[in-house]
Amino acid sequence: MKNSPANRILKHFLKTVLVVFVLALAFGAYYINSLIPIITGYPAKFLCSAVFVSGREQAEVEAMDLNFSFIKYVKSEVNWQDSSVTSRFLWGKSTAIYRNGFGATLLRDVTAEELKKIQFPAIEKKFNPDTIAWPLGNILPDTTTLRDPSKLAGITEKIMTGGYNGHAFAFMVVHKGIPVAEAYQPQFNAKTRFLSWSVAKSFTNALAGIMVKDSLWDINRPAGIPEWQDDRKNITINDLLQMQSGLKWNEDYGNRSDVTVMLYCENDFAKFTYNQPLEYPHGKKWYYSSGSVNVVNYLMRQKLADDAAYYSFAKTRLFDKIGAQDAVFEVDASGTQVGSSYVYATARDYARFGLLYLNDGVLAGERILPEGWVKYTTTPASDSEGGYGSLFWLNKGGRMKTIPEDMYSCNGHDGQQIYIIPSKELVVVVLGYSPKPDRVMNFEQLLGDIISAVE
């Protein structure tokens, strides 16, 4: 019978299944829609920088760096006429543009035309690096500090062929101030600018130190952000530098964690961060926060006289001083430099930066960082258990048990590393790509082998 109890139950069941299916479909579409700015924003920004800042080929970047998760299904178009990249996935798209001096910027709540009206201040190169001796220039010493160079040559070959469980794009070792190893994959060379990812945080530390040296900052005073009229008003610049601000933050790199939303959905990275509520008392709880570093860069921008002074600050007071004349510090759509993630520099530039800290803030006879800044930088944040200082990772907590305790480092996503080991007079630079957990490079083994090779 059509209206039998069994038929009524079946109809009710089918209606319920249909409703559940429609709701699941709607939720799925809503969720995917929330991810599309990230799914399309990541490759648009990454590829734009890789092509226009680093000079890489689109196909090579897509095969190596963008061949994962949803990202590998994104279709990207490089427009050489207007220096842009547009990436599409399903019904969504994102565009990033390149501007000379500013690098690549993902368009969020601003048009390309509006951004292109802003010009980077004209800054001339102070010298031709190919005519200047190391460390400021590219004329490398013809001597070595090594008793047996073949040992380090073997390590170099090993790391460049994946022997340490990772894929190194570039590798450099400086011992007692002299480069003793340097190698690149075939598509790269000594002129290639490599993405820093979170190594940029340590560059922000250097800029903060220069602000202190110029008497522009007292890092132990409240940051003074007008929006902080509640308990956040007590947060200091030091709290931000040591990642103990107490601001609510999620850095787990999940699909819509705070850091991915900031980098790929927001116009103003610092504002997104400083508008977060206070979750812990300031200065008491350590947890990693890319957002707090962008707040530091925002505070620099507010303190300096104008944007021309701000954009030339990193260039003239840090990059040029250490011989990194071609380094690029990219900005977000609001114009603030992305201190959490986006410095582009050569492997030699990263080595020079490591030397600056190895030499206590002095390079080529000039004091660039204030006296005592490196000691401050390598003093553990109170809640970090010896693992973190001021925008540098520390080994004082014994993270690498076989490596000297005085080692400290700049660590970036996908295998970007600068290791500084004062007791061994060593700087080690590794720039690479290790996208999978089972391919994370064994840096402790690498450093141990290098130390044995130079001793």
Query: pLDDT, tens digit, for every residue of 256-295?
Result: 899 999 999 999 999 999 999 999 999 999 999 999 999 9
Instruction: Give the residue among 221, 227, 333 at the shortest CA–CA distance from 274.
Output: 227
- Residue 291 and residue 300 in contact, taking contact as beta carbons nearer than 8 Å: no
For residue 133, the cross-strand partners are 139
Q: In the prediction, which pLDDT does 441 show?
A: 86
Query: pLDDT, tens digit, for every residue of 319-332?
Result: 999 999 999 999 99
- pTM more than 0.85: yes
- Domains of the chain, with CATH numbers? 5-116 (no CATH), 129-454 (3.40.710.10)
The CB-based long-range contact list for 9-15 (8 Å cut-off, 24+ gap) reads none
Provide the sign of the torsion angle of the four alpha carbons 195, 201, 207, 210, taken in this order: negative
Tell me the two tokens of residue 308: 């021309």
Residue type, 25: L
Q: In the prediction, which pLDDT does 440 show?
A: 77
- Specify the DSSP element, H or E, that contains 23: helix 5-52
Cα distance between residue 326 and residue 315, in whole Å: 9
Cα 164 to chain centroid distance, Å, stands at 22
Has residue 439 got a pLDDT over 70? Answer: no
The SS3 of residue 370 is coil
The SS3 of residue 367 is strand
The SS3 of residue 8 is helix
> Which residues have a Cβ under 8 Å from the Cβ of 273 and sit 6 or more positions away?
247, 249, 258, 262, 289, 291, 292, 294, 295
The arithmetic mean of pLDDT across residues 56-81, rounded, is 94
Out of 8-22, 167-181, 230-244, which region has the weakest mean confidence (pLDDT)? 8-22
List the helix and strand counts (H, then E) for the chain.
13, 15
The 3-state DSSP composition of the chain as helix, strand, coil percent (nearest 5) reads 40, 20, 40
Has residue 254 got a pLDDT over 80? Answer: no
**337 DSSP 8-state letter:** B
Has residue 353 got a pLDDT over 70? Answer: yes
For residue 426, the cross-strand partners are 175, 421
Q: Is the peptide bond before 435 cis (omega within 30 degrees of 0)?
A: no
> Which residues have a Cβ under 8 Å from the Cβ of 55 and sit 6 or more positions away?
192, 193
pLDDT band at 131 (very low <50, low <70, confident <90, very high): very high
